[in-house]
Amino acid sequence: MYKFIVTIDCQPGTRDKILSRAPEAQAAARAEPGCIAYDFYTCTDNPDRLVFVESWADRAAHDFHMQQEHTTRFIAWHEQFHENLVFETIHAAG
């Protein structure tokens, strides 16, 4: 499984702009082959932070996702609202 967390620190006041399009991106990603989970959250102690948690069957499934027009369009659109972005690949401990 290929799993990761994307943390976006948004410019103040822009979080809701990203959230307005996130459900559409989520639905498109979840419909792709190899998508196990695609969820997004708001941070409870920082209102300008969004956290996306994605799980894919493997790296190839995620690579396919990253080549999709809906993915490139969503990323290009929300990048204008970033102050910072962190991409972390994660693995189950144990």
pLDDT digits (tens, 9 = 90+) for 19-44: 999 999 999 999 999 999 999 999 99
Alpha carbons 42 and 73: distance in angstroms, whole number: 22
Give the chain's domains with CATH numbers.
13-83 (3.30.70.100)
DSSP code, position 12: T
pLDDT band at 92, cuts 50/70/90? confident
pTM over 0.95: no
Cβ neighbours of residue 77 closer than 8 Å, sequence gap 6 or more: 21
